[in-house]
Structure 1
Amino acid sequence: MQYRWNWSVLITDPYLGWLVSGLKWTLMVAGAAWLLALVLGCTVGVLRTLPSAWLRAIGTAYVEIFRNVPLLVQLFLWYFILPELLPYSAGHWLKRDLPLPEYWSAVVGLGCFTAARIAEQVRAGIESIGHGQRMAAVALGLTTAQSYRYVLLPLAARHVLPPFTSEALNIVKNSSLALTIGVLELTGQSRQIEAATFQGIEALTAATLTYVCLTLVVIAVMQTIERRVAISGTMGRT
């Protein structure tokens, strides 16, 4: 049977509105998850490099648990399983009273998963700094917290910006899994259009091109940041 192309469906009401709504939810999920992943990932990454053995163990446990469980499984655990494990009142609040529980489950699940990957990158960035920098911080009388704040983390941040770009791209693409717990983001809305119009190729092509544009914007922003924070003489720059 010959496929009947109809690209005009993408600019027809209400389907154009569905795509715009899907883009909005994709940005909301990916943006909030990225903020959570940065804060949590940097914290765990620092824990993995501290002198305290038990703090390092906590950081290692987090990374090994969240990095080795598939993201789709984690989303199901956050959305379906966690409310059942909590006391009744807390579980009922998560499932019924919390506004947009599927959205927050997607943000937390995606953020925690990505944080484990960021933590490893932060750890590698800190450990890549020469031992002389640490000794210089000690010689200046800086505490451990001050050494990380003023010396180690600023240098490590410049080292890990390239892999951070990859994680920012991944978090945009991985946000598509939020449709499995009821978030109608870009992929979810394109499937809605397919179901309503039987124009699946057009709808998925629109979603694909939108993802490409989003990731190109992320790349451009991260490359701009990388150039602005680069220090001559580091990371191979002159």
Structure 2
Amino acid sequence: MTDKLDKAPAPAPGPAPAPYEAIKAIPVRHYGRWVSAVVVIALLGWLGYAFSQGNVMWSTVGDKLLDTSVLSGLWHTVLISVVSMALGLVLGVLFAVMRLSKNPVTGGVAWLYIWFFRGTPVYVQLLMWFNLALIFPVLNLGPIYKNNMVDVMSPFVVALLGLGLNEGAYMAEIVRAGIQSVDEGQTEASHALGMTSTQTMRRVVLPQAMRVIIPPTGNEFINMLKTSSLVSAVQYVDLLRATSNIGSAAGAVMEMYFVASVWYLVLTSIFSVGQFYLERRYARGSLRSLPLTPWQRIRANLAGFSNRGGNPA
């Protein structure tokens, strides 16, 4: 019986299934995109035509871009921005910790500092520091230091205090928000391991808070870079002051403003790229996939165009 079953013929194969018809994907027509592109190109062309009709000496703009006075002012702008931002960051961390302290005195002092410097314009603060000698002719710190206030308040010191103290108030709120974004369980676990409050803040809380602190800090620095143009009012020879001096002497005021604008755009672009890579670094561990770098985006776009060209359908 078993042998008969083993020798039974196999069932005849059925007819082969008919192949599926290939799907023809018809792209959706986006006429609005073409219309908006034409409108934007027309507006850009109109803007270029308007500038071409203006009485602008473009050769002066090109000649003065690398002028020694302009480059010196550019260096002073970068210097005062970086130093003021460093001062603001240190003050921001200090006053943020003071604001979160359970001590009512330190918390009250931090609140007053933030309230004053956020509530008054930077330009007013710069003028107050610049004219401080009117009410304090001599800076007298007893046996430590004594000098005329006019000599102490040099244009660089005035610019540093005006920008740095103002930035510290904004950074204090940014750092405070970053610290509060860290779960309280992290602090409790650190204390359970025997860490002090200072060690917990330095080793546990701040490293995790950097993910929240870095993006607005980068924006604040770029804003500081542009706000630094106000220091020309207190005799600090920054980029705007240097270009304005040349423009007044050479009779090319608008041309030198164009020169200053070009350099400000260059600086903000460079620091924006640095901010991107810094944010990307601190995003590791919180995102499943890191954002593409500019070079990776270019390669992806080129690959997409090449694939479309090879696909006539």
* Fold-level similarity (TM above 0.5): yes
Which among 106, 111, 115 is matched to residue 55 of structure 1?
Answer: 106
Post-superposition CA distance 1:17-70 (Å, at most 9, x none): 221121011112111111111111111111111222222111111100111111
Q: Which structure is higher in RCO with an 8 Å CA cutoff and minimum separation 6?
A: 1
How do 1:11-26 residues align onto structure 2 when only pairs under 5 Å count?
12=63, 16-26=67-77
Q: Does 1:95 align with 2:145?
A: no
Distance in 2, matches of 1:14 and 1:214, equals 14
User: Structure 1's 14 and 173: CA in aligned 2 closer, same or farther, altered over 3 A?
Assistant: closer
Distance in 2, matches of 1:13 and 1:119, equals 40
Ranges in structure 2 where 5+ consecutive residues have no aligned partner: 1-52, 141-145, 289-313
How do 1:137-216 residues align onto structure 2 when only pairs under 5 Å count?
137-216=190-269
2:123 maps to what in 1? 72
Q: Does 1:227 align with 2:270?
A: no
Q: Does 1:8 align with 2:59?
A: yes
How do 1:100-115 residues align onto structure 2 when only pairs under 5 Å count?
101-115=154-168
Ranges in structure 1 where 5+ consecutive residues have no aligned partner: none
Secondary structure, aligned partner of 1:95: helix
Deviation at 1:3, TM superposition (A): 5.5
Secondary structure, aligned partner of 1:48: helix
Post-superposition CA distance 1:80-114 (Å, at most 9, x none): 12x33436254853313x4x801111011100001
Which among 84, 95, 102 is matched to residue 134 of structure 2?
Answer: 84
**Counterpart code for 1:23:** L
Determine if contact 1:129/1:155 at 8 Å carries over to the other structure.
yes
Secondary structure, aligned partner of 1:184: coil
Distance in 1, matches of 2:282 and 2:80, equals 27
RMSD in angstroms over aligned alpha carbons? 2.1
Distance in 2, matches of 1:221 and 1:179, equals 27
Alignment size in residue pairs? 231
Q: Does 1:45 align with 2:96?
A: yes
2:81 maps to what in 1? 30
Distance in 1, matches of 2:270 and 2:260, equals 15
Secondary structure, aligned partner of 1:142: coil
Deviation at 1:161, TM superposition (A): 0.5
Distance in 2, matches of 1:223 and 1:148, equals 26
Determine if contact 1:15/1:193 at 8 Å carries over to the other structure.
no
Distance in 1, matches of 2:157 and 2:138, equals 19
Distance in 1, matches of 2:234 and 2:268, equals 23
Distance in 2, matches of 1:211 and 1:218, equals 11
**Counterpart code for 2:154:** P
Deviation at 1:14, TM superposition (A): 11
Deviation at 1:12, TM superposition (A): 4.7
**Counterpart code for 2:148:** W
Between structure 1 and structure 2, the one with the greater Rg is 2
Deviation at 1:5, TM superposition (A): 2.8
Secondary structure, aligned partner of 2:82: helix
**Counterpart code for 1:84:** L
Deviation at 1:15, TM superposition (A): 8.2
Distance in 1, matches of 2:255 and 2:220, equals 28
Identity of aligned residues (%): 30
Secondary structure, aligned partner of 1:188: helix
**Counterpart code for 1:48:** R
Deviation at 1:230, TM superposition (A): 2.8
